[in-house]
């Protein structure tokens, strides 16, 4: 009965992507203006962190890619999608690597992800605008990544604890 397990996995990924999209929409309603264009909390990353810790790397990657494409197509534009892909790729690779080290908690992994997401976006911006001047934003963005990564990690941790006894996939 392998097909039943496959259907549960696809359904679970669909629900995770839908939840990430809802959180992405909610984030568009939250006005954050700290003087740096595009700065956001990263609420959809709650779902990616949960997918990484409760499921597996493949699920986290699929959810991350699909949510970026769908959120950009629904609430953003192509430019937003490229910046998101750059940030999410570096973030997810970093979180996967750090999560393999048992001494790092879910919150620590999320903080690394938040910081590296901003680093990835700054690298992308440097290529787009063809100047290293954008790196002057990096200290502020690293602090923002640390704070938002910690908040995302705390929320993901609280949710994960409640979902560990639920049989989903």
Model confidence pLDDT, tens digit, residues 19-32: 999 998 898 888 77
Q: How many CB atoms lie within 10 A of CB 161?
A: 10
- Which two three-digit tokens encode residue 119? 């680093």
pLDDT at res. 41: 84
- Give domain status of residue 144, yes or no: yes
Read off the pTM: 0.88
How far apart are the C-alpha atoms of 15 and 11, rounded to whole Å?
6
pLDDT at res. 36: 67
- Which two three-digit tokens encode residue 124? 């992308």
Model confidence pLDDT, tens digit, residues 47-73: 999 999 998 899 999 999 999 999 888
- Give domain status of residue 18, yes or no: yes
pLDDT at res. 35: 66
pLDDT at res. 18: 95
Model confidence pLDDT, tens digit, residues 117-161: 999 999 999 999 998 889 998 999 999 999 999 999 999 999 988
pLDDT bin (cut points 50, 70, 90) of residue 164 is confident
- Give domain status of residue 168, yes or no: no
Residue 137's φ and ψ, nearest 5 degrees, are: -75, -15
3-state helix, strand, coil in the chain (%, to 5): 80, 0, 20
- Give domain status of residue 169, yes or no: no
- Name the residue range of residue 113's domain: 2-163
- Give domain status of residue 75, yes or no: yes
**In the chain, how many domains are there?**
1
Contact 17, 30 (CB under 8 A): no
How far apart are the C-alpha atoms of 101 and 13, rounded to whole Å?
25
- Which two three-digit tokens encode residue 69? 């494409």
Is the pLDDT assigned to residue 169 strictly greater than 70? Answer: no
- CATH value at residue 77: 1.10.1760.20
Residue 44's φ and ψ, nearest 5 degrees, are: -65, -20
- Which two three-digit tokens encode residue 87? 């940030």
């Amino acid at each position: 009965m392998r097909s039943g397990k496959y259907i549960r996995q696809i359904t679970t990924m669909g629900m995770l992507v839908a939840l990430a999209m809802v959180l992405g929409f909610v984030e568009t309603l939250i006005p954050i203006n700290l003087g740096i264009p595009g700065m956001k909390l990263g609420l959809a990353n709650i779902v990616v962190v949960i997918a990484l810790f409760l499921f597996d790397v493949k699920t986290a990657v699929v959810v991350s890619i699909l949510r970026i494409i769908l959120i950009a197509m629904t609430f953003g534009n192509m430019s937003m999608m490229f910046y998101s892909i750059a940030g999410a790729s570096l973030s997810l690779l970093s979180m996967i690597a750090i999560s393999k080290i048992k001494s790092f908690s879910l919150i620590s992994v999320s903080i690394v992800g938040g910081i590296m997401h901003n680093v990835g976006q700054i690298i992308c911006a440097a290529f787009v605008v063809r100047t290293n001047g954008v790196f002057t934003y990096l200290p502020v963005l690293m602090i923002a990544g640390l704070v938002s990564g910690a908040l995302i990690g705390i929320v993901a941790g609280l949710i994960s604890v409640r979902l560990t006894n639920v049989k989903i996939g």
